[in-house]
Amino acid sequence: MTGTGSAAASVLGGLDKTRPWQEDFYRHLHQHPELSHQEHNTAAEVAKRLGSFGYQVHEGIGGTGVVGMLHNGDGPTVLLRADMDALPVKEQTGLPYASTVTARDLDGNQVPVMHACGHDVHVTCLLGASALLANARHDWQGRVVALFQPAEELGDGARKMVDDRLAAVVGHVDVAFGQHVLPMPSGLVGTRPGSTLSAADSVRITVHGRGAHGSMPQAAVDPVVLAAMIVVRLQTVIAREIDPTDPAVLTVGSIQAGTKSNVIGDQAVLQLNVRSYNDQTRGSILDAVKRIVNAECQASRSPRDPEFELFDRFPPTQNDPTTTARVRAAFDAFFGDRARDLPLQTASEDFSDIPNALSVPYTYWGIGGIDPDTYHRAARAGRVSQDVPVNHSPTFAPVIQPTLDTGTQAMVSAALAWLT
Ligand code: ZN
Ligand code: ZN
């Protein structure tokens, strides 16, 4: 048994052996992306490889979810998670291994498919970390749970695994880790205690009016005016009701009503997106939305109660400070000045549904995916947001190295902070 630092160096010494197949596997995954809940080939490939490393493998959890477990003597259990799904985006990276795949989405539409969020990076790094740990069992003690989840992009993949016997499969877990490739220079790894990713909620609101001729407004309850009042009034929720030091967003992204200039319709549908960083603020905003919509409907003499439908919901990601400090110390020891502070992210993730369901502390970090020269040239020109493609863009193309090495090293060194 050795210290964490020398154990990390020893286990990661095996990277020269895993790197070649990791790079091949990454290109293969990138070229063969699969949509949310359809990750059948990815999951089968992951399960096969985990089995070959000596992991006990459970497949088909929550649909296509895969869990591999490696027991290596007495010690803590560390859960490492990667998401597997791709997006309905037409790839425009020009890479030799770009995707030309199309697939039928859950609504039956034929759509292009691309790993535009970099989940192929996460899968490849976690598989590499799983292999490295399996190949160096004399350097650590405990249990590793490698979890590959479906459908992060829909916000329900983690929840589906939890609801499908996950706790019974994995047993007692001590700590959970997740990571994401982000538009920062490749080679960097960023940690952050506390609020890290936002909670997201989408709300579909239907308000009712009374239809009439456009020339006879006295016979109508105009849903267009009602919807307009709601949009304006909703702007006061963040501005007037939420603590200015507590970041939150409320966007009305869609408003649909009416068909013709001289017809007053009988309903309007609004779609909102809400971002917040803790459950209390999240609840306050959603309560305020309901209160305002109900009150505006009453003010407009709306003949029926409005309807609210919540969808695309993601929990907040709030990194446990103690866990994060321990991971950060391991990253500082291994990566030196490549270990950085991660800024607060406005994106959302469903990772925390897993540790929350298992009542386990967690931390979630970011790794860079952008070619450092490209990034720094953009930064010098003050054009990072224009010139550096972000996740979900058709030109998002993480450089293979040092991105894969960094994500693999991060998973291994974090795990060893518990396993040595
Ligand atoms: Zn994404
Ligand atoms: Zn993602």
Q: Which ligand is nearest to the CA of 114?
A: 1
The CATH number fitting domain 3-195+316-419, selected from 3.40.50.1000, 3.20.20.150, 3.40.50.720, 3.40.630.10: 3.40.630.10
Which ligand is located closest to the Cα atom of residue 88?
1
Same fold, 3-195+316-419 and 199-314: no
Q: Residue 13 and residue 138: Cα distance in Å, rounded? A: 13
Q: Are 176 and 364 in contact (CB under 8 A)?
A: no
Interval between CA 137 and ligand 2 midpoint (Å)? 31
Question: Residues with Cβ within 5 Å of ion ligand 2?
Answer: 117
Distance (angstroms) between ligand 2 centre and the Cα of 180 equals: 7
The Å distance, Cα 181 to ligand 2 centre, comes to 8
Q: What is the CATH number of domain 199-314?
A: 3.30.70.360
**pTM score of the predicted model:** 0.91
pLDDT tens across the length of the chain (420 residues): 446 668 999 999 999 999 999 999 999 999 999 999 999 999 999 999 999 999 999 999 999 999 999 999 999 999 999 999 999 999 999 999 999 999 999 889 999 999 999 999 999 999 999 999 999 999 999 999 999 999 999 999 999 999 999 999 999 999 999 999 999 999 999 999 999 999 999 999 999 999 999 999 999 999 999 999 999 999 999 999 999 999 999 999 999 999 999 999 999 999 999 999 999 999 999 999 999 999 999 999 999 999 999 998 999 999 999 999 999 999 999 999 999 999 999 899 999 999 999 999 999 999 999 999 999 999 999 999 899 999 999 999 999 999 999 999 999 999 999 999
Centre of ligand 1 from the C-alpha of residue 253, in Å:
19
User: Per-domain residue ranges for the chain?
Assistant: 3-195+316-419, 199-314
Distance 11 CA to ligand 1 centre (A): 30
Q: In angstroms, what CA-CA distances link 112 with 44, 92, 94, 117, 206?
A: 22, 11, 15, 14, 31
Query: 268 exposed, middle or buried (CB, 10 Å; 0-12, 13-18, 19+)?
Result: buried
Q: Which residue, chain included where needed, has tokens 């200039």?
A: 261
Which candidate, 326, 337, 351, places its Cα nearest to that of 414? 326
Q: Angle 119-135/4-12 helices, nearest 10 degrees?
A: 100
Task: Number of helices (H) and strands (E) in the chain: give both, helices first.
Answer: 13, 18
- The token pair at 40 is 């059948």
